[in-house]
Amino acid sequence: MLRRAGHPWAQGGGDGGHAQGDRAPDQEQHRHGPGCDHRRTGPAAPPVQRSTAEPVQRSAVHDVLRTPGQPLDTTTRTEMEARLGADFSDVRVHRDTAAQASAAEVNARAYTSGSHVVLGGGGTDKHTLAHELTHVIQQRQGPVAGTENGSGLRVSDPSDRFEREAEANAARVMRGPVPERDGQGAAQP
């Protein structure tokens, strides 16, 4: 999870009713790490704690979050709402070239900021999406932990409770079949 410290996210909305400027200045973003099994692998993937060695270009992350993104497609939204028992009508997904570059700059497969999910090159699988949507739910409930990385962003630690919870929840909800939904869209137990 990354958290922007001391600076408004954006000026104004621009996405047809989703007011990005309404976000709190210290809004959280999820960043995968070794503990959540979504961390990029390879020699260029330093641990989360070392991310301060190469400062994040703040503009890449924030520029992506200033764009409107796209809503979840109907099929995916219906499935994830049934699996996670939440309404994702406000979720905006960013998966274009700029989003992928942004995720790469923070060395993540995907990250979340409020209702914005940014998918990098390797973060387009359903398990990763379920993990990120769990972070959307967490962030709706209030601030989540993060450690300042020296670039005005707060990065979650893979061992923190929010990461452990998101990973366990994604594994649990993706294990079984899609729950049936009633006529009002609520998942049936």
Tens digit of each residue's pLDDT (9 = 90 or more) over 38-97? 544 443 332 222 223 455 445 688 899 999 999 999 999 999 999 999 999 999 999 999
Residue 129 pLDDT > 70: yes
In the 3-class helix/strand/coil scheme, how is the chain assigned residue by residue? CEEECCCCCCCCCCCCCCCHHHCCCCCEEEECCHHHCCCCCCCCCCCHHHHHHCCCCHHHHHHHHHCCCEECCHHHHHHHHHHHCCCCCCCEEECCHHHHHHHHHCCCCEEEECCEEEECCCCCCHHHHHHHHHHHHHHHCCCCCCEECCCCEEECCCCCHHHHHHHHHHHHHHHCCCCCECCCCCECC
Q: Specify the range with the lowest mean pLDDT, choosing from 28-32, 104-108, 121-125, 175-179.
A: 28-32
Mean pLDDT of the chain: 74
pLDDT in tens, 132-168: 999 999 999 998 888 776 667 777 877 889 999 999 9
